[in-house]
Chains A and B, each alone.
Chain A
Amino acid sequence: MKSVFLSLFFLSLVTHAQKLEYATLTIPDSLKQNANVVVRLNEVLVNIPSQKEMVVKTKTVTTVLNELGLSYLDLSENHDKNRKITKIEAVVYDAFGKELKSFKRKDFRDVSVADGVSIFNDNRALYLDYTPTVYPFTMVFETEVSTSNTAFLQPWSPMEGYLVSVQKSNMTITYKPELKLKVKEINFSGQATIEKTETASSISYAAKNVVARKREELSPGFAKVFPIVYFALENFSLENVEGTATNWAEFGKWYYQSLLADTEEIPVETQAKIKQLVGDEKNPITIAKLIYKYVQEKTRYVSVQVGIGGWKPMLAKEVDKLGYGDCKALTNYTRALLKTVGVDSYYTVVYAGRDDTKDLQEDFASVQGNHVILTLPTDKGFVWLECTSQVQPFGFQGDFTDDRNVLLIKPDGGSIVKTKTFTEIDNKRILKGNYSISAEGHLKGQVTIVSNGLQYDAHFNKIRMSKEDQIKVYKEEFSNINNLSIKKINLSDNSQAVEFGEELALEAEGYAQNTGGKLMFALNAFDQSNYVPKKHKSREFPFQVLRGYTEESEVEIVLPEGYIVEAKPDGIQLDTEFGSYKIEFKVLTSNKILCARKLVIKKGQYDKTKYESYRKFRETLAKNDNSKIIITKA
């Protein structure tokens, strides 16, 4: 009896639970190199039988090679009232392809996708909290989702991220031809062999054996380097509102009419208040300044992601009543207020983010973007208003939305324009100061710093900090000076001119090191850059310097009474395609030295072969910034 049972069990193991194709041994070595994860299969089947119907079936087979790969594993699926999960299940296998455990829908937890920023959104997710018992393991995850939203089709890329290999990936979209599918391929050169098949009502992409890449410092963003295909329907539906997107002009018109036109009403009382505020003023810029200030004082940013999937702004009159809203609500409210006094402005869709400048795809009209700002057309070009900030100066968008393609939504259509590029001349930081060194090596000095452009953006928040936090920030900024104490802080924010002023009095015990009766210290005490990019022995990706800037300083140094210079650094001048650097140490009188420094870093995209010379440039300047003088008793 026992033997029968055993052999039956064994049989079932072979036929049922063992999936040799999931065994880790069969993975080619080339895919294991640099990889924490190997995606064995990523299969997405999208079916769009009508404008209001879409079914997405996804099957991913993921081998997680080690603990570092675990965070890549995403066992979740979003749902909301228009998006239903009809199937969700997972099975995990060990390295030999033996089934370890399977999970059904009931094993997945239903949670709210509160992102921490939103005070409320109605998005939820089913997710599986899986603790691996062994590495490597292979997870087969299958979902099926049906939704009435056809405004977003997920893009496809043969790469799944850094340190992830892909053995096989494919995506097929089958659609009703009348809906007209648009496709945009980018970065399709070389990195992977991509197969494409197309019929009148379907399209599919596939790739095989894509090896893992490593992240490299200063690399452009994923979407700028990796191949990626975007899809969109010309005739789509967004939360049961039908739309068209043949081109940006038409898409903009639809956007305005469906999502904005009926949100503009401003209560009569507020209209009167605004008219009174504006008075006889005729200049649209001056009027916009008044109204921007009014909004900044009246409202605050609270993210409330409800209504049309978070795409339609809250009504302007609601914002007027509540005094808060998200980016869409506050932007639209400002626009509606401007409209009441006859000033035109445009609701503007953008991909916001400081670390990368992501464009809206210029020739590919579709629902894109993650943020909204307001654009004011003037004689001198566009003025950009960030309506979610209560402190940003008028017309100063900072590095959150600068230098990228955005979509202007006008009543008569949409258009793509580029926001302001802050150049190395705009982003200027000028420091002037002096300090003296005592015979004990103590430093005592003053500096004044004036910042403009994005340098303003980086510093102007200091004025709103507590004294304690200001001191903390300065100790970080001047971390090259030990035992620093800040004796005086005087800050001035000129938001008209977008100029930030800092005046500091500083002291530091033992700044100059006593070496056998001699004093040794870095002359450039206040303006040091120690940033040196990481060394990449062999580099694969190009690199970018996202924004340029200029730093200039002049500092006068008084040596202690009775000391003379024994040795002093020579200074250096470097002119490169990345920018320039010059530092000089001029002896003014027997006990006075002037340290003059200028660093200009240019914005740029560079070939990978130039990375090492950029790194060397930063290294040399960092070293010269810290070059030391030796003084000795006369």
Chain B
Amino acid sequence: MKKVVVIVLLFTNAIFAQKRELGKVTVEELKEKECPADSSAAAAVLFNIGEVRFEFLEGKGFVMKTRVRTKIKIYKKEAYELANKSVRYYIGNNVKERLNFKDAATYNLVDGKVEKSKLKSDGEFDEKMNKFWARKKIALPNVKEGSIIEYEYTLESEGLGVMEDWTFQMGIPVLYSQFKTIVPEYYVYKPLMRGFLIPKFETTSSNKTVSSTSKERSGGNITTTSFSNNQFSYNEITSVYTLENIPALKDESFVNNIKNYTASIEHELTSLHFPGEPVKNLSTTWENVVKTIYDSDNFGPELNKTGYFDEDINAVLKGLNSNEEKIAAIFNFVKSRMNWNEFFGYSCNDGVRKAYLDKVGNVAEINLMLTAMFRYAGFEANPIVLSSRGNGISMFPSRNAFDYVISGIELNGKIALFDATSKNALPNILPIRDLNWFGRLIRKDGTSVQVDLMPSSNSREVINVMASIDKEGKVSGKLRDQYFDYNAFSYRERNSKVNNESLVERIEKANSGMEVSDFEVQNQNDLSKPIIENYSFNTDNVVEIIGDKMYVSPLLFLTMDENPFKQEKREYPVDFIFPHQNKYNISLTLPEGYEVETLPQPTAVSMPENMANFKYNLSNNGNQLQIIYSLDINSAIMGSEDYEILKNFFKELINKHSEKVVIKKV
């Protein structure tokens, strides 16, 4: 059976193997009303072909040329914005890039014939965005439902060997996507794939000869090396990655970063092999990557700078004896002195000294100075590079795999983690942006080890309620809500400086029919303690009087009545960010003259391998009702293969939440 399929596939390929070129559009293509592979698609990319090659230019050395050709079929008006294309290019100091669009055109079917509208210069715009970047934009003419649009652009770069990422998968179906690199043997790039779809890969090698009259050779710059001999030849390695019939990317909630699941390829320059020079390794293994980072000017040397803080730290440490005290004092000192300017990166920008003086810095400046201070106080402290959630999860070693650095202290065989960019952070409580699997800790000698960044225990939220129901079905009482660990961190990040009045309004708004009074928050600024919210409430929305009975929602307004997982099928893992526990203890007093008629059955439900569980227990003693409930999400990330089970778990949970206690007159 398998054989048959293969033969058929080959056969169809042979017949329909089309030339994918710009400038050729058929009447059939224009007539097509919907995408055969996905009838709801607003547009489809017919092909998207990228090619990166290195050309030897007289006096300049190797220049990287990227050429992209794209052809898109528009089915619906919703996709018109695809006819406006924008590509950025670098205009900063050292590196010059040139970007050019060409052969941009729209094809329409007019009276049964193909009509081509070319893009003229009035449809092209060049815009300087800031000191470093400019972009060119095109707006293709005469785009209608059914149009086919196409364009080509080339990007020439004399600078660093940074290859643009190639994204195979998009928000619309892509019928054919190819990325080709033609690279001289002197440069070694490592391809890094992402996503669930694996492109077909082919590689060939050929010999190439170029002539040069240049006598100069500029050493330092990576790609502008030119050679003194008049003619030279080298091997060129051609690699081709092809994917066909790629479905549109799906949009889902509870996703960490969609980039992690998008079929794409990234290239990293790993080493330079110039004739007559030793091989220069840039990155190949995690150890090498980290070593390269460590050796770069804006990392290691910045970390090793001292002297700028000595006096201040001496004062901070004065009179402190225990390690815990010293660590906390230094961490608090940096958190309170320094202000994060919201720039990421593992490299310093202004440098630690200036940052320290200005009290403002990027991630690297703040956390490298923190590490240096820990070391100054005698701790075994080291920087930990990581990939923030926005940067995606890095499967393979590369310098782009990291965009962030925090600090770690090895003490009593454990590593404690610190990130001073957030005022609300604590030892081992990192900002959410850091919680992305693993980081790498770099020791003084440049060696490194992997460090797990994910919290190991469940962050708790514990709510205690004492309330009573009156004869009109109104419930009033007192509530105490305690937030621990990451729950406390999130609460502080969300609500720091929000006044109590707004918090009350928020609670009332979220719970229709509820009035809140005597509201107070404890430990807002004392990070060592849990956040505690206390308030009194009354609500007429949790008891229904039908006939002569009352139907009471036992979890009151804490009832979860909507399943957060509505999708039938799931493509990507579900991300709860950190493992957590919600626990409610509720005591309810029934109105005078009432007694319980029915009580929901106690339950305990668990997902396989205890990824999550909930427990629910009700008991009744006279006119007192005691409810104990807990939900544990033990596994912060659940694979899409577990989705069905997770969805059903929440279905059961919500069913249980919605069960009523029925009370009747005695």
Which residues of A does B touch, CB under 8 Å?
66-68, 101, 109-112, 114, 119-120, 129, 131-134, 297-298, 300-302, 304, 318, 321-324, 390-391, 464-468, 472, 475, 479, 482-485, 509-510, 513-516, 518, 520, 530, 532, 534-535, 566-569, 619, 622-623, 627-630
CB distance from A470 to the nearest CB of B (A): 9
A298 contacts B131, C-beta separation under 8 Å: no
A515 contacts B117, C-beta separation under 8 Å: no
- Which stretch, B208-216, B395-403, B432-440, B650-658, touches the partner chain A? B650-658
Q: Identify 17 residue pairs between A and B in the complex whose beta-carbon atoms are under 8 Å apart, listed by A's number.
A: A68-B498, A109-B130, A114-B127, A119-B125, A131-B360, A133-B359, A304-B139, A324-B141, A391-B77, A482-B651, A509-B651, A510-B655, A515-B662, A520-B660, A567-B546, A568-B546, A627-B544
Q: A322-B142, A510-B651, A535-B505 are in contact. List 8 more A-B contacts (CB 8 A).
A: A119-B137, A300-B77, A318-B122, A482-B561, A530-B512, A567-B546, A619-B513, A627-B544
Q: How far is the CA of A490 from the CA of B651 in the complex (A)?
A: 28
Give the chain B neighbours of A131 by CB distance below 8 A.
339-342, 360
Q: How far is the CA of A518 from the CA of B566 in the complex (A)?
A: 27
CB-CB under 8 A for A515 and B509, given A114-B127, A114-B129, A629-B546:
no
- The 10 closest A-B CB pairs, nearest first, are A516-B598, A567-B547, A466-B40, A323-B142, A567-B546, A133-B359, A120-B125, A131-B341, A322-B141, A300-B80
B546 contacts A298, C-beta separation under 8 Å: no
Give the chain B neighbours of A509 by CB distance below 8 A.
651
Decide if B456 is an interface residue (CB 8 Å cutoff): no
Give the chain B neighbours of A515 by CB distance below 8 A.
551, 598, 600, 659-660, 662
Question: 1/0 per residue B85-102: CB within 8 Å of A?
Answer: 010000000000000000
Closest to A622 in B: B512
A133 contacts B358, C-beta separation under 8 Å: yes
Give the chain A neighbours of B78 by CB distance below 8 A.
464
B512 contacts A322, C-beta separation under 8 Å: no
B139 contacts A630, C-beta separation under 8 Å: no
Interface centre among B341, B505, B512, B654 (most CB of A within 10 A): B512
Interface centre among A66, A67, A112, A566 (most CB of B within 10 A): A112
Closest to B513 in A: A619
A112 contacts B128, C-beta separation under 8 Å: yes
Give the chain B neighbours of A300 by CB distance below 8 A.
77, 80, 83, 143
Question: 1/0 per residue B475-519: CB within 8 Å of A?
Answer: 000000000000000000000111000000100110011010000
CB distance from B33 to the nearest CB of A (A): 14
Q: How far is the CA of A511 from the CA of B489 in the complex (A)?
A: 37
Q: How far is the CA of A68 from the CA of B496 in the complex (A)?
A: 9
Give the chain B neighbours of A516 by CB distance below 8 A.
597-598, 662
CB distance from B219 to the nearest CB of A (A): 33
Point out the residue from A467, A472, A482, A567 that lies within 8 Å of B40, measured CB to CB: A467
Q: How far is the CA of A569 from the CA of B544 in the complex (A)?
A: 10
Decide if B549 is an interface residue (CB 8 Å cutoff): yes
CB distance from B122 to the nearest CB of A (A): 7
CB distance from A302 to the nearest CB of B (A): 5
Q: How far is the CA of A532 from the CA of B541 in the complex (A)?
A: 13
Give the chain A neighbours of B141 by CB distance below 8 A.
321-324
Decide if B76 is an interface residue (CB 8 Å cutoff): yes
Q: How far is the CA of A518 from the CA of B659 in the complex (A)?
A: 11
Decide if B116 is an interface residue (CB 8 Å cutoff): no
Decide if B218 is an interface residue (CB 8 Å cutoff): no
Decide if B562 is an interface residue (CB 8 Å cutoff): yes
Give the chain B neighbours of A322 by CB distance below 8 A.
122-123, 139, 141-142
CB distance from B470 to the nearest CB of A (A): 17
Decide if B563 is an interface residue (CB 8 Å cutoff): yes
Point out the residue from B359, B541, B546, B598 that lies within 8 Å of A628, measured CB to CB: B546
Closest to A36 in B: B497
The B598-617 residues at the A interface (CB cut-off 8 A) are 598, 600
CB distance from B366 to the nearest CB of A (A): 11
Point out the residue from B123, B342, B651 that lies within 8 Å of A483, measured CB to CB: B651
A628 contacts B551, C-beta separation under 8 Å: yes
B544 contacts A535, C-beta separation under 8 Å: no
A110 contacts B562, C-beta separation under 8 Å: no
Q: How far is the CA of A516 from the CA of B661 in the complex (A)?
A: 9
CB distance from A276 to the nearest CB of B (A): 13
CB distance from A396 to the nearest CB of B (A): 16
Give the chain B neighbours of A518 by CB distance below 8 A.
662
A112 contacts B127, C-beta separation under 8 Å: yes
The B358-403 residues at the A interface (CB cut-off 8 A) are 358-360
Give the chain A neighbours of B662 by CB distance below 8 A.
515-516, 518
Closest to B496 in A: A67
